[in-house]
Structure 1
C-alpha cells in the first residue's frame, strides 16, 4: 500500500478565498470609496483653524443687524426716542397718533412727528418686560407703521430733506457740520427698523420699490461733499437691506437663475452627478485642432452661431477660440520635411542635428508642427483612429453653455448688424420691447439699473472711497483696546461689511439679469481700482487675529440701553438671551480644529471682497495680468483660516493667475496648486497648468478689453438712450447723405 502523500499537509484552500498577501475587488473598491470620500470632504488643515461660519448675502441675525445700526459712543442714547414731552402722543397712544399723522395731509413730516414714529418703530421699549418681549414689540411696531400708511410719508420726507442738503454743491463743499442732520438720521432709522423687521418675517413693505434707486443716487451725489451731514454707513446699511427685501435672498437668486436658464432653453444639470464640462469656445478650439490633423473627419458642429466675416468685427476679440495649431509656439516650427504617410524606416531615438559640437540642440527639433494633417496608412482605409472619434464624441456631449454666453452672443449679433450698417440704432430701439413693470426680481433689478445708470460711476467712486477710509491699520497683537479704539474699529467693520455687501449683491443680481449690466458695473469697479482695495484689506492686518477679534460689547448696545430705560427693571433677561461668549485666543487658535466664536463681520467682508474680485476679473486676460502683478503673499493671507467660501474664492483667483506666473512661482506654491486640483471645478479643456503658450492671450488682452467695453457701450446706448445722453453719449445720424444735407 502506497503511503498517503497528503498526510500531514493541510487541505488546499478553495479558489474563492484570496491569498493572504492579496485583497479582493470588494476590499479594493471599499478603500477607493473611502479615499474618494476623504478627498471630496477637502484636505485636512493641520495648523489652520476652521471657522464655523455659513456665508449669506443677507447678513447675520435680526438682533445682530439691529445692534450694528447704533454706535456705542453717541448713537444709542441719542438714537433712542420716547414720548416724554409729547402730550398728544401720550394721550392718543400709538394707534391714535398714527391716525393723527395721516390726517395731517401730504407734505414732509416734522422732527417731533418723526421722533414719535421712531419710538413706535423701536418697539415702545419703555413698557417692555424683557428683551424677548421687546423683539416682539419691534415687529408689532413695524406692522403698525406699515398698516398706518406712513412709510411713503417718511420716504418723501427723506427725499425732500436730502434735496435740501445735497442740492447745493457749493454748500456741501463748504459745510463743516459736526453732527448728522437729525431729520435724515431719524428717517433712515425708521426705514431700517421696518426693513429689518420685514426681512426677518419675510413680509413685503409697500412703497419701497423706488427706494434703492434713490439711495444709490443719494450716495452718488455725495461725491463732492455732504458726508458730514449724512451718514454713509447708514445709507449703505439701509441700501443693503432694502435690496435684499426687494430682490430676495440667496434662494431667490438661485431660483431666478434657474428661471433664466429655462428662458434660454438651457437644461438643468443633476447636482448629484457632477460631470466635467467644456464651454462652446473650448470645443470650437478642439474641433479646429481635430480638423487640422484629420481633414477628412467632420466633427459635430459647434453651437456657436455662425457669423459673417467675424474676423472683421471688433467684437471678435471678446471670445476667441485658441486651437493648438494656431499658437505662436506651433507656428514657429518648421514644416515636416517628409510626409508622414510616406513609408520610411523607423527614425532614430535621437533626432539628427546639424549643430556644432557643444551647442545646445533646439527644442523645435523634438516637436512636430500641429498645422499639418496627420496621415498614415490604414488597413481598412479609415484615416481617423477610434480614440480620436471617441474623444470628439465625449467632448461634444460635454459642451455646456450658460445664460451669460447666450446674452453676449445676442448683443454681439446686434452690434455687428449696426456695425455693418444693416440697421441703425434707432431702428433697433424700435424693435425692443422693454417691460417696465415690477413684479419679478428681474424686473425690479432692471428698474434699479435703468434708474441708476447715470449715477453708477459716482456711486462706485463714493463707495470705494468710503471703503478705503475704513480699512484700519493696526499692529498685530495689540491686545485690548480702549473705548475710543473699540468704537472706531467696530464702526469700520460695520461700514466695510455694509459697502462690500451692497457691491457683491448688485454684482450678482446684475449678472443674473443681463451679462452686459454686470460687465458695465464690473468695469466701473475695476477702473476704480477695486482690486487694490482688496489687497490693501488683507495687507492691513493678520487674518487669523482679525477673524477672532471681538468688538461687540452687549452692555453698550441697543437692547441693553433700551432695557435700562424700561419701566420694568426686574424683568430684564439680558444675560439669558445674550450669554457671554469667550473667544479663542489667536495664540492658541492653531491647536483648535473648530472655532465657533469669531468676528462674523470680518469674515463676511473678506468673502464679499474676494468673491467680487473674482467675478470682475474672471476670464478677462487684461485684468488678470494686472492683478497677477500684485504680491501674491498678500492674497495668501486670506488662507490663514479655514472657511470654504473664502478659501475657494481665493483658490479660483490664483487659478486665473497661474498661467501668467513663471516656474519659480509654481514651484514655491505647489500647496495652492494642489488645493486648486482638489477643490476647484475643472473644465474638460483646462490648460491652466500645462504650460501652454500664453503669448497670443497676452497679445489679444487689450483688444479683448476694448471690444468688451464697446459692446457694453453699445448695449447701454441701445437700451437706455436717455440715461446715456445725460452721460454725454449722444447718438449721431448714421445716414451719410442725411448728415451731408445737414
Structure 2
C-alpha cells in the first residue's frame, strides 16, 4: 500500500474517506440513522430551544480580555458557546457542541456566570410497553372498566410526556482581582484539584507510564441469578398491582401460615386455583400470582422470600400447561379484542410474570444435576405448546398493530428467557457443542490449547504455493473436498484460497530470465537502484514471482555435517539416494500444517451443502451425499438431550421462518429508542431538584435499557444456536440483520454510550432507587427492618450495561465476520469508537472488538494503523493466533475487494438453496415456490417460439 494514499474500501458515495483520531470521536461527527419513530411530545419540543449560555465577564482584566479576543477571532470560539444540551431529540443530539471545548475554556478560567434558561432535563415518556404514568403508583389498584380502554388501542408512542418545571440554575464565578496582581491564568476548582493530585503523584515517584489501567472484574453470562432477574423485570407502574393480590390470596386461603410451612397443603391449594382457571380467570389468577411471587407479605427476610419463590414455582411446574393456556387466552384478547383492554392488560401482566418466574427458576434448576427430570418436563411442556413460536408471532403482529395492551416490553423479556431455557445459556452451549462434535465423530480443537491451528483455506493456499514453486513435491492429502473448477457456477465464489501464486502482485513482477535446465550456481545480485531519474524518484520491487517454479534446486551428491543435522532418519528412509529437490524447511512446514489442520463442524456442514448444491446444479446423482446433519431424521427413541435441543431449534426455524424479518425489525426499533435516553449525575442537577423529582425518568431509562439488553440477547442467542444446528441457518439470520441495517443501529448505540462509558460502568450516574425487594418488603414491617440492616447492596459495576455492550459487539462480529463486502459497511470511525471501549480492560468486551479489528486492518492505510496501534497490539496480546498470520500485511487486498460482491451473492444463493431444499413450505408463506417441470417446459417452449 502507498503511504500517502487512502486505501480504504471503495464506497458508493462520493465523500472523501480519511482516518480519524480519538479527539474527533463525537456524536456530532458520527452519522447516525434516525430511529423510525418521531418524538413529538411537548417536553421534547420545549427542550429544543434550551441552551446554556456562558457570559465570560472579563472586561475588567485587560490581559484576559486580550486573550478572549484572540480566542474568539483567531480560534473562532463563539462568546455564547453552548454546553451540551440535555435534549431527547436525535436531531438535536447531532448538533451538540464539543464538550472538550467547553472544558478547555473552564480550565483557562473563562467560564463566567452560567445561567440556565428554561432548562428541560426530562424527555418524552417512552417506556416500551408500560401503560403507566409518573404517579401511577399512587392510584388505586384495580383491573379497570370498559370506559378506560381508549388508551390501550393502537398507538405509535408508548407514553405521553411528563411535564415538570424546574428552577433555574445559576452558577457565579467570582472574577474580582486581589490587590496583588496575578498575571497567571486562573484555574477552576476541579482543574486545580487535578493539578494538585498530579503534583503529589510526581513527588511520590509515580510516572505517567505507570498509571494503573482501569479493569472491570466481570464475567460475561446470559443470566445472573433469580435475585437480579426479578429486579430487572418490574417497573414502577407494576408495583401498584401487588396489593390486590395479597387481599385475593387472604380471601381464598383459610390458613396462610400453614401454606408457607406445609408443602402438602400448599400443593393442594395450588391445584384448587388451577382448576378454577377454566371457569373464572380473575379470582384464581391473582392468588396464583401471589404464590409465584413467594408470599412476599408473609415472609420476614430476603432469604426466606427467595426460598419461597423457588418452592412455590416448583409446585407450579405440575400445572404449567394450564397456566400457558390461560396466558394465550389473555394475550389473544389483548391483541384482538376492543373491550375490557385495561382489565386484560393487567391480567396479561400477571400471567407473563408467573411464566417469567417459572422460567428463571427452571433455568437455575437446569444446572442442578438432581433436577434434570423436573426441568426436562417444563421444557417439553413449553415445546409442545409452541411458546417460542407464539411469542415470535405475537411480536410480529405488534409491528403492524401496536397496542399498549400487548405489553411488548414484557413479551420480549419473556421470549429472551424462554430461549435460554429451551436452548441453553453459555454453559449449556459449550456442553452441547462437545456432545454434537462427538455425535458426528469430529475432533474439536479446544481454544484453550497451546497449539496453533490452520484453517482449510489457509492450508489449501499453502498447498497451491508449494505446488507452484516445487512441482515435484508430493504433499500428504488431508481430508479436504475435491475441488471442481467451473467458472460458470456460483459455487466457485463460496471459498477462495488466497495463495501467493495467484496474487495480483505477481502481474507487476518480471518473469524469471533463467532456464530450468541450466541453473546458475547462485542467484544474480540485485541491480543498482538509481534514486532519481530526471528528478523523479522511482520505486522498484525485487520480490520473487511466486507464480513460477523455484529456479535453483539443489542436488547434493555428498552428505556433510550440516545436512545430517537437518535430516532425520525418516527423511533418509524416504530419500536413500539423498536426492534433495525441496528445502527441508518447506517439508517441515508441510508436516506441521498437515498435523494442525482444523476442520470444524460448521465447515463440514458448509461443504456438505455445497456438494448438494453443485450436484443439483450439474444434474449429478445426489443420493450418495450425506444427510447426517439433518437432525429431524434421528429416531425419537435414540435421541439424547443435545439432539432434542437440535430438534427444537429446527422446529422453531421452520415455524418462524417468515416472522424473522419482523422480529428483527421490532428489536432494532427498540434498540434505537435508547438513543434518546438522558443520563443524570447528582452533582449536575439544578438547584432545588432532588433525585425524587426524576425517579419517573430514571424508571423509563431503566426499562428501555433492559429492553435493549433483552433485544440484543435474543439476536445473540439465535445466531449462536443456529450456527451450531447448521451454519446456513445462522447465515440466513445474519443476512436479515445486515439487510435491516443492524450495523448502523449497533454503531449508533455504541457511539452514544461511548461518551458516558466510564460513568455508566462504575454506576456514577443516577439510577432508580426502587428495587423489587424494597417494594415487596413494604407489606411487612419486619421485612423492612431486616432489609434496611443489610445496607445498600449496589453493585460496583453495571452488569446489565456490560452484558448489553457484549451482546451488541458479538452480534456485530457474527454479521460481518469473514465477509469483506459487509466490512465495507462499517463506519469509518469504528476504530476510534472501539478505542473508547478499549480504555477499560475486560477480555469479554475485548474479544469481539479485536476480532473485527483483525479483519479490518488489512484494508486500512498506514496512517490508520499508526493511530490504532493499541488495538492492533491488543490482537497479538489477547487473541488466539494462527500458524499463518498475514492479516497485518501480506494479503491480496485488490483480489479480496474484487471478489467480495461475488462471495456475498454466492453465499445468498447457497442459503436460498438450503431453505428451498429443507424448508420449502416455510418459504411458500413468503410467496416463494419451486418451478414445476410443466411450467419450466412451458417457459422453454415460449423461448423457442420467440427465437423463431
TM-score range, shorter chain: 0.7 to 0.9
Note the alpha carbon deviations across 1:149-206, whole angstroms, 9 max, x for none: 2x222222222333344358xx8xxx99889812222210110111122223335125
Equivalent pair of 1:606/1:646 in contact (CA under 8 Å): yes
Q: What is the match of residue 538 of structure 2?
A: 361
Q: What is the match of residue 220 of structure 2?
A: 55
Give, in angstroms, the shift of residue 231 of structure 1.
2.3
Q: What is the match of residue 197 of structure 1?
A: 361
Give, in angstroms, the shift of residue 421 of structure 1.
2.7
1:138 matched to 2:309? The reply is yes
Q: What is the match of residue 861 of structure 2?
A: 662
1:403 matched to 2:601? The reply is yes
SS of the equivalent of 2:675 reads coil
Q: Name the CA shift for 1:346/1:715 in 2 (closer, same or farther; >3 Å).
A: closer
Q: What is the match of residue 262 of structure 1?
A: 438
Q: Name the CA shift for 1:63/1:433 in 2 (closer, same or farther; >3 Å).
A: closer
1:414 matched to 2:612? The reply is yes
In the alignment, which of 189, 207, 211 is matched to residue 381 of structure 2?
A: 207
Note the alpha carbon deviations across 1:494-549, whole angstroms, 9 max, x for none: 11111122221111111111101111111111111212222112211321111122
SS of the equivalent of 2:288 reads helix
Structure 2: gaps spanning 5 or more residues: 1-208, 257-265, 557-578, 686-690, 943-948
In the alignment, which of 518, 530, 544 is matched to residue 730 of structure 2?
A: 518
Note the alpha carbon deviations across 1:592-644, whole angstroms, 9 max, x for none: xxxx7011111111111111111221111111222263542123221132111
Q: Name the CA shift for 1:553/1:111 in 2 (closer, same or farther; >3 Å).
A: farther
SS of the equivalent of 1:321 reads coil
In the alignment, which of 904, 928, 942 is matched to residue 729 of structure 1?
A: 928
1:544 matched to 2:758? The reply is yes
Cα separation, 2, equivalents of 1:719 and 1:627: 33
Q: What is the match of residue 286 of structure 2?
A: 115
Kindly report which structure 2 residues correspond to 1:4-23, keeping only aligned pairs within 5 A, or say none: none
Give, in angstroms, the shift of residue 106 of structure 1.
4.8
Q: Name the CA shift for 1:377/1:283 in 2 (closer, same or farther; >3 Å).
A: closer
Q: What is the TM-score normalised by the length of structure 1?
A: 0.83
Equivalent pair of 1:489/1:551 in contact (CA under 8 Å): no
Equivalent pair of 1:460/1:525 in contact (CA under 8 Å): yes
Q: Name the CA shift for 1:738/1:160 in 2 (closer, same or farther; >3 Å).
A: farther
Cα separation, 1, equivalents of 2:831 and 2:658: 36
Cα separation, 1, equivalents of 2:602 and 2:526: 50
SS of the equivalent of 1:222 reads helix
Cα separation, 1, equivalents of 2:458 and 2:438: 23
Equivalent pair of 1:284/1:302 in contact (CA under 8 Å): no
Note the alpha carbon deviations across 1:310-361, whole angstroms, 9 max, x for none: 4432022111101111111112323123336533776344347899543433
1:78 matched to 2:291? The reply is no
Cα separation, 2, equivalents of 1:255 and 1:221: 35
Equivalent pair of 2:345/2:406 in contact (CA under 8 Å): yes
Cα separation, 2, equivalents of 1:602 and 1:500: 11
1:278 matched to 2:479? The reply is no
Count of equivalent residues: 672
Q: What is the match of residue 297 of structure 1?
A: 473
Kindly report which structure 2 residues correspond to 1:71-110, keeping only aligned pairs within 5 A, or say none: 71-72=235-236, 74-79=237-242, 81-84=244-247, 89-91=252-254, 95-104=267-276, 106=278, 110=281
Cα separation, 2, equivalents of 1:190 and 1:156: 13
Give, in angstroms, the shift of residue 477 of structure 1.
5.8
Kindly report which structure 2 residues correspond to 1:308-323, keeping only aligned pairs within 5 A, or say none: 308-323=484-499
In the alignment, which of 500, 505, 524 is matched to residue 347 of structure 1?
A: 524
SS of the equivalent of 1:395 reads helix
Cα separation, 1, equivalents of 2:731 and 2:522: 57
Q: Name the CA shift for 1:230/1:533 in 2 (closer, same or farther; >3 Å).
A: same
Q: Name the CA shift for 1:370/1:180 in 2 (closer, same or farther; >3 Å).
A: farther
Equivalent pair of 1:123/1:135 in contact (CA under 8 Å): yes
Cα separation, 2, equivalents of 1:273 and 1:311: 40
1:374 matched to 2:539? The reply is no
Kindly report which structure 2 residues correspond to 1:22-37, keeping only aligned pairs within 5 A, or say none: none
Q: Name the CA shift for 1:399/1:545 in 2 (closer, same or farther; >3 Å).
A: same
1:225 matched to 2:390? The reply is no
Equivalent pair of 1:83/1:90 in contact (CA under 8 Å): no
Q: What is the match of residue 652 of structure 2?
A: 448
Equivalent pair of 2:722/2:730 in contact (CA under 8 Å): yes
SS of the equivalent of 2:658 reads helix
Note the alpha carbon deviations across 1:552-575, whole angstroms, 9 max, x for none: 878622222222113x53774213
Equivalent pair of 2:506/2:545 in contact (CA under 8 Å): yes
Q: What is the match of residue 56 of structure 2?
A: none
Equivalent pair of 1:124/1:137 in contact (CA under 8 Å): yes
Cα separation, 1, equivalents of 2:465 and 2:718: 40
Equivalent pair of 2:631/2:647 in contact (CA under 8 Å): no
Q: Name the CA shift for 1:245/1:409 in 2 (closer, same or farther; >3 Å).
A: same
Structure 1: gaps spanning 5 or more residues: 1-43, 583-595
Cα separation, 2, equivalents of 1:562 and 1:354: 82
Cα separation, 2, equivalents of 1:258 and 1:407: 16
